[in-house]
Amino acid sequence: MSAEKQFQQLLDKADIKINGNRPFDIRVHDERLYARVLREGSLGLGEAYMDGWWNCPQLDEFFTHVLRARLDHDVRGNLGLLTRAAWARLTNPQTPSKSFKVGQHHYDIGNDLYQAMLDKRLTYTCGSWKSAVNLDDAQEAKLDLVCRKIGLKRGDRVLDIGCGWGSFLKFAAERYGASGVGITVSKNQVALGRKLCKGLPVEILLQDYREVREKFDHVISLGMFEHVGYQNYRTYMKVAARCLKDNGLFLLHTIGGNQSVRATDDWIGKYIFPNSMLPSLAQISSSIEEIFVMEDWHNFGSYYDKTLMAWHRNFTTNWHLIKNNYDERFFRMWTYYLLSCAGSFRARRNQLWQIVLSKNGVPGGYTSIR
């Protein structure tokens, strides 16, 4: 059987046609695509898109169909994921000395990219679209939701693990009269974040989370846990507990997966988030045993689809403002990243969890806030 026929048989399971007329059908420009994907799996599919070997009018819907049909389980490619998972058992890709790699590779790409793509506060995590009509509103609603979930009040001091450009701490200082310290592994985020938070009781540091030893009224972490690695989950939780006062709350905001893994998708790991992986329910729950009491677990993963599509609209709309700093291959790579992730959340293969944790249990119980 030819590689093209094998490839089409796979796509049939997802109701996708080669050179079909529907928005989620693929248009093949180079017939080497078929053997490449069968041989290399997700890495080959993504690199072939970057090379211009194929296109799709609605890439997000293509991935929604593919992932709902679980085609990623049918094509494992060159065993890259299994190899890296086995290597992760023998090594620790997220040691303190290696933790800055993702900052250099991803978050230091260029502040102009993120200013063109994100909301006005530069919040690079899932927004809350419960009542929001645009990205700015969704991100402010999310930041406010976090403040309300931890019971933030004037005078409180907060640690933000993985603070990005300081959007949460800036919001908490302006709206709630709080102060805090944010840590990140991105030099670009530190430089711009300090400018954005100038004049506020906010400190932003270039630092690995394991180095923090101060005590805070509350600890939050929005979209950083995906870079911790399963071997370090327990250490991470111990650090959060060490930095949290006895009566404080820790809010963990993280993308999660439906199964326990030890490595990430081949293409994502190579081009977008090196040394990353998505935690599972089981991995998180085992990491907090005898350290924290789980007070609340909130899933709003469907909102990440809307957030990613808003980021993509901003990225394409504002591309003309930044394209002199990037090339066409980067444009295709970034498009593939945003829309493939949107499809994954739409297919409900990825989740977004906000978990509220206490050290000793909230007296009388915690009241869930939505």
358, 362, 82, 66: which is closest to 237 by C-alpha? 358
Q: Which of 147, 163, 197, 341 is catalytic?
A: 341
Pair type for strands 157-161 and 179-184: parallel
| Residue 190 tokens, joined | 């530190």
Residue 341 designated active-site: yes
43, 266 Cβ separation under 8 angstroms: yes
Rg for the chain (alpha carbons), in Å? 21
How would you classify residue 166: left for phi > 0, otherwise alpha for psi between -120 and 50, otherwise beta? left
CA–CA dist 233, 271 (Å, integer): 24
The 3-state secondary structure of the chain, one letter per residue: CCHHHHHHHHHHCCCCCECCCCCCCEEECCCCHHHHHHHHHHHHHHHHHHCCCEECCCHHHHHHHHHHCCHHHHCCCCCHHHHHHHHHHHCCCCCCCCCCHHHHHHHCCCHHHHHHHCCCCCCCCCCCCCCCCCHHHHHHHHHHHHHHHCCCCCCCEEEEECCCCCHHHHHHHHHHCCEEEEEECCHHHHHHHHHHCCCCCEEEEECCHHHCCCCEEEEEEECCHHHCCHHHHHHHHHHHHHHEEEEEEEEEEEEEECCCCCCCCHHHHHHCCCCCCCCCHHHHHHHCCCCCEEEEEEECCHHHHHHHHHHHHHHHHCHHHHHHHCCHHHHHHHHHHHHHHHHHHHCCCEEEEEEEEECCCCCCCCCCCC
CA–CA dist 298, 292 (Å, integer): 17
Where in the sequence numbering do the catalytic residues fall? Answer: 341
